[in-house]
């Protein structure tokens, strides 16, 4: 099943994973990453408030510069015991993240903001991920690669990080970086996209 876009659509994200997921719906879109600096999670009363506001800010910045377009902004965080784990800045932080997550359950939260002019339609999706107990050699080997450093929580479930996962509860694609099923339903319900060949007659 493929979709067509009924309005010009912009993805305000440089993430290749989000681009791949959105492209799977089959319609063309432009990629214009937001240059907005992400706020500090400590300035927010909850991880959900932080990630929702960050997605909104990214989408709004691009939407203000491109009137007449539907703009999709997104942000993903890992939450461990109410602590927000962003992209690790260095090997020490990546190792620290993985040691915290080892043998425990954490939440991956992706917030999405769809903006149509002045109207914003934000939502978030939460997925529970449980890690196996990770051998120290696995953590060291993974940290030595480039994989942890552009991913919230320091791992990618679609790459070698999948070997850390014992189970997940919720949307897998949400952990990758975009809850594409929920987003597609929203875009379709608003008339921004429609199924190719799906017209009733």
Q: How far apart are alpha carbons 81 and 104 in whole angstroms?
A: 10
DSSP string, 53-103: HHHHHHHHHHHHHSTTSEEEEEEEEEEETTEEE---SSHHHHHHHHHHHTT
CATH tag, 3-195: 3.90.950.10
Tell me what pLDDT residue 199 has: 67
pTM: 0.93
CB 134 within 8 A of CB 71: no
Q: Name which of 198, 191, 178 is nearest 23 in CA terms.
A: 178
Give the Cα separation of 174 and 111 in Å (integer).
9
Q: Which one from 30, 75, 133, 171 is the annotated catalytic residue?
A: 75
Are 80 and 55 in contact by the 8 Å Cβ rule? The answer is no
Would you state the pLDDT for residue 201? 44
Give residue 185's Cα distance to chain centre: 17
- In a 13 Å sphere around the CA of 84, the CA atoms on its Cβ side amount to 20
- To which H or E segment does residue 180 belong? helix 180-189
pLDDT digits (tens, 9 = 90+) for 114-131: 999 999 999 999 999 999
Expressed in percent and rounded to 5, the helix, strand and coil fractions of the chain are 40, 25, 35
* Residues of the chain scoring pLDDT < 70: 199-201
Query: CA Rg, the chain, in Å?
Result: 18
Spatial neighbors of 84 by CB under 8 A, at least 6 apart, are: 41, 47, 50, 51, 77, 78
171 catalytic per annotation: no
Which of 165, 44, 78, 185 is CA-nearest to residue 123?
185
User: 92 — alpha (psi -120 to 50), left (phi > 0) or beta?
Assistant: alpha
């Amino acid at each position: 099943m493929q979709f067509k876009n009924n309005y010009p659509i912009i993805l305000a994200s440089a993430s290749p994973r989000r681009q791949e997921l959105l492209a799977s719906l089959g319609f063309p879109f432009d990629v214009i990453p937001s240059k907005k600096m992400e706020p500090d999670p400590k300035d927010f009363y909850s991880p959900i408030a932080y990630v929702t506001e960050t997605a909104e800010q990214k989408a709004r910045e691009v939407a203000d510069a491109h009137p007449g377009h539907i703009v999709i902004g997104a942000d993903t965080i890992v939450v461990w015991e109410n602590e927000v784990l962003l992209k690790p800045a260095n090997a020490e932080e990546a190792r620290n993240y993985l040691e915290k997550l080892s043998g425990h359950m954490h939440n991956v939260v992706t917030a999405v903001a769809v903006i149509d002019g002045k109207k914003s339609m934000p939502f978030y999706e939460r997925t529970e991920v449980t890690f196996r107990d990770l051998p120290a050699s696995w953590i060291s080997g993974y940290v030595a690669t480039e994989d942890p450093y552009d991913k919230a929580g320091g791992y990618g479930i679609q790459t070698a990080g999948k070997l850390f996962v014992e189970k997940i509860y919720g949307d897998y694609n949400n952990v990758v970086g975009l809850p594409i099923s929920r987003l597609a339903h929203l875009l379709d319900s608003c008339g921004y996209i429609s199924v190719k060949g799906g017209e009733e007659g």
